[in-house]
Structure 1
Amino acid sequence: MDSHIAVRFDDDRAYVTLDRPDKHNGLTIGMLEGLVDAARTVGRRDGVRAVILSGNGPSFSSGLDVAKATGDPLAMARNFIPLPWRGTNTFQEACWAWRRLPVPVIAAVHGRCFGGGLQIALAADIRFATPDAEFSVMEARHGLVPDMTGAATLSRLVGMDKALLLTMTADTVDAAYAARIGLVTEVSDDPIATAEALADRIATRSPHAVAGAKRLFERSWQASTRRTLAIERATQLPLIVRLAGRRGDR
């Protein structure tokens, strides 16, 4: 079965592309499983310093292909059950797997970025979007709520009130508004080129410091101040030891 997920490596970068362009990259169960496998493939590859996540064709992703996904109720049910050692089901892991990687994941968004597609983009560390990109937390249109880690990312990025507004209305918003509220990082005419330029800049920094920064902010995002400071110390200590070791070797 074709997962419609393409993975390509170029020097120290991994390119992961949603590749079902004739359906605006509407997500199938196979694509979600393919995203999980792609993240594992990238994680096993030595030397990767950044991941660029994008969509082929007219859109990043129009969200879950409901007709296709619900056509196999057993597969839906099987993939809805979380794995106890992972804490996520397949729908969630297709997004959260990118948070587990120690390298920056940059989403390059264009066209439609709806529903599950938006939740995949939100699970990236940074999002660049074309001026004509459109965004919608569209689950309410189907009588549902976001369940692909959107509850763990949306309110953190835009605040509780904006998260509720987007979720309850299922409105479609443009890139300028998305950037203004923090749903995307920046608007760019060429988000892939912008992502590549950022990846080049980050690659000049210590990979251990970059991984530590990602881990630090992920673990402390909603922690108490006391817990955050403990996480800071735990993250910094091995970096200090590594730095001291390098200087001692000179």
Structure 2
Amino acid sequence: MGDHITLRFESERAYVALNRPGKHNGLTLEMLRDLVATAKEIAAHDGTRAVVLSGNGPSFSSGLDIAAAARDPLAIVREFLPRPWRGTNTFQEACWAWRRLDVPVIAAVHGRCYGGGLQLALAADFRIAAPTAEFSVMEAVHGLIPDMSGVATLSQLIGIDQAKLLTMTADPVDAAYADRIGLITAIDDDPSAAAAALADRVATRDPRAVAAAKRLFDSSWHRRPRAILAAERAAQIPLLLSKSRKGGD
């Protein structure tokens, strides 16, 4: 695991933090791979009952660091190809891996929660946000669409009109608005403490029942995620090709 993702196990809880504070936890390709590896490590760790996902520094995450990723275009191509046995590519699995866990994942959000960072938070089972947190489906700013499982998770959380509005405008919204439309679970002045408290509450329940409930809801809510993830990739490819022909932004 790289330096930009930290993991610690404590009292049946796993605490995961994005750790690139100087860049508002902008996500690099290495961080995406590390998020996948971290989720796998947690899945293999006996006794974990809940996960708290947060970001160090001023923000949860400002999204994909496009400038850093663009330095290695071949790597982008490699990571964009889906794994047939999973139905996700690395960008999608960095988020969707948290849905695969049998234990609840709680995102503690503060500062910016933009783009890929928002899609990561949406892949958690619960999102507790600071009152000053800001959210944006910002891919349209770069001429793209959300394709890190964001379409799958947005469709489970909010109405289609709100999902289109957030995606087509890329406007940042505050925590109060996000709470009102169902994008987040709750607002708290100390989201990390609130997330830890929720983890403690869930951990008192039978882990088999909690795992069964998570699997049941995730497998039966609207469309099958695999089909949506494939649709995300299909919609993104012509946009990426168009940007390539134009030489990028």
- Counterpart position of 2:92: 92
Match of 1:245 in 2: none
Query: Tell me, what secondary structure is at the counterpart of 2:62?
Result: coil
1:26 lines up with 2:33 in the alignment: no
Matched residue SS, 2:8: strand
* Structure 2 partner of 1:141: 141
* Partner SS, residue 60 of structure 1: coil
Unaligned runs of 5+ in 2: 225-249
- Matches of 1:123 and 1:25 in 2, distance apart? 17
1:234 matched residue in structure 2: none
In structure 2, the residue matched to 1:81 is 81
1:178-230, CA deviations, whole angstroms, 9 ceiling, x for partnerless residues? 00101100000011111111111111111000000000100110169xxxxxx
| Residue of structure 2 in register with 1:106 after alignment | 106
Call closer, same or farther: CA 1:77–1:3 in 2, change over 3 Å. Answer: farther
1:48 aligns with 2:69: no
Structure 1 segments, 4+ long, off by >4 Å, are none
Structure 1 residues 166, 223: closer, same or farther in 2, change over 3 A?
Answer: closer
Residue 3 of structure 1 and its aligned partner are, at CA, apart by 4.9
Separation of aligned partners in 2, 1:3 and 1:108: 20
The TM-score with structure 1 as length reference comes to 0.88
> Partners in 2 of 1:99 and 1:201 — Cα distance?
19
* Count of aligned residue pairs for this structure pair: 224
* Cα distance in 2 for residues equivalent to 1:113 and 1:176: 14
Say whether residues 1:115 and 2:119 are aligned partners. Answer: no
Which position in structure 2 is the counterpart of 1:243? none
Superposed CA RMSD: 1.2
Letter in 2 for 1:98: W
**Larger gyration radius, structure 1 or structure 2:** 1
Query: What CA deviation, in whole Å up to 9, does each residue of 1:159-184 have, x standing for no partner?
Result: 10000000000000000000010110
CA shift, 1:155, in A, is 2.3
- Partner Cα distance (1:201, 1:57) in 2: 27
Please give the alpha-carbon distance, in whole angstroms, between the structure 2 residues aligned to 1:19 and 1:198: 23
**8 A Cα contact 1:155 1:162, kept in partner:** no
Shift of 1:69: 0.5
- Residues 106 and 175 (structure 1 numbering): CA distance in 2 closer, same or farther, change over 3 Å? same
Q: Distance in 2 between matches of 1:79 and 1:196?
A: 33
* Residue of structure 2 equivalent to 1:187: 187
* TM-score, normalising length: structure 2: 0.88
- Unmatched 5+ stretches in structure 1: 225-250
Greater relative contact order, per chain length (Cα 8 Å cut-off, separation 6+): 2
